[in-house]
Amino acid sequence: MRFGVLGPLAVWDDDGAPVRVPETKVRALLADLLLYEGRPVPADLLVDDIWGEAVPANPANALQAKVSQLRRAIGRDRVTHQPAGYRLRLDGGAAEVDAAGFRELAGQARGEADARARAAVLTRALALWRGEPYADFADEEFVRPAAQRLAEERLAVVEELAEARLD
C-alpha cells in the first residue's frame, strides 16, 4: 500500500489501484496519522485536530468510529492502538509514503557527484508531486506546519535541480 500527501491525500493498493477513503473526517484522521510517520498519536490530539472547536458529545466513541471506518478502507492491521495512542503501521519505509520517498531521493541526489545523475534523481523526486502538500487539508491548523515544510523542501529541490542542470 502507498500513501500520497504531495498533493491531495491519496491511497493506492499494492497493484497501484486507488483505495477510496470515505468521508472528510476519516481522511483527516489518515492525514493526521501520516503526519506522525508511524509514531503513536494521542487520542485527545487526534480529536482536537479532527474536530477542532466542534468536539462531539462523546469524543472517544466518535474517534473510535472514524478509526473503524479507516481500518475498513486500508486494512484492520494498518491502524493500531496502544497506550500512547493510535499509530499508522508503515512497513514499506520511503516506498510507502510519497513524502518520505521524495526526501530519500533528494538525499540520494545530494550524494551524486555527476551533475547529470544528480539532475535525473532530482527530477524523479519532483515527479512524485501532484500538487500542494496535504491539499485537501491545507486550511487545517494541524497540517499547516508539515505542509509548509514540504513546500520549502520542494522549492530547495527545484533550486538544486536548476543548479545541477547548469552544471
Q: Confidence band (pLDDT; 50, 70, 90) for 93? A: low
CA atoms of 117 and 115, how far apart (whole Å): 6
Percent of the chain at pLDDT exceeding 90: 87
CA atoms of 33 and 86, how far apart (whole Å): 8
Same domain membership, residue 13 and residue 72: yes
Same domain membership, residue 8 and residue 85: yes
Q: Confidence band (pLDDT; 50, 70, 90) for 91? A: confident
Number of structural domains (the chain) is: 2
Same domain membership, residue 89 and residue 59: yes
Same domain membership, residue 84 and residue 111: no
Residue 95 has pLDDT above 80, yes or no: no
Same domain membership, residue 98 and residue 72: no
Q: Is the Cβ–Cβ distance between 100 and 26 less than 8 Å?
A: no
Same domain membership, residue 86 and residue 111: no
Which tens digit of pLDDT belongs to each residue from 53-75?
888 899 999 999 999 999 999 99
User: What is the chain's mean pLDDT, rounded?
Assistant: 94
**Boundary residue ending a domain (73, 93, 113):** 93
- With b for 16 or more beta-carbon neighbours within 10 A and e for fewer, the 18-30 pattern comes to eeebeeebbbbbb
Q: Confidence band (pLDDT; 50, 70, 90) for 23? A: very high
The parent domain of residue 88 ranges over 2-93
Task: Please state the pTM of the whole predicted model.
Answer: 0.92
Pick from 57, 31, 25, 61: which is nearest to 43 by CA? 61
CA atoms of 48 and 54, how far apart (whole Å): 9
Q: Is the Cβ–Cβ distance between 30 and 70 less than 8 Å?
A: yes
Residue 9 has pLDDT above 70, yes or no: yes
Same domain membership, residue 15 and residue 87: yes
The enclosing domain of 27 has a CATH number of 1.10.10.10
Same domain membership, residue 59 and residue 113: no
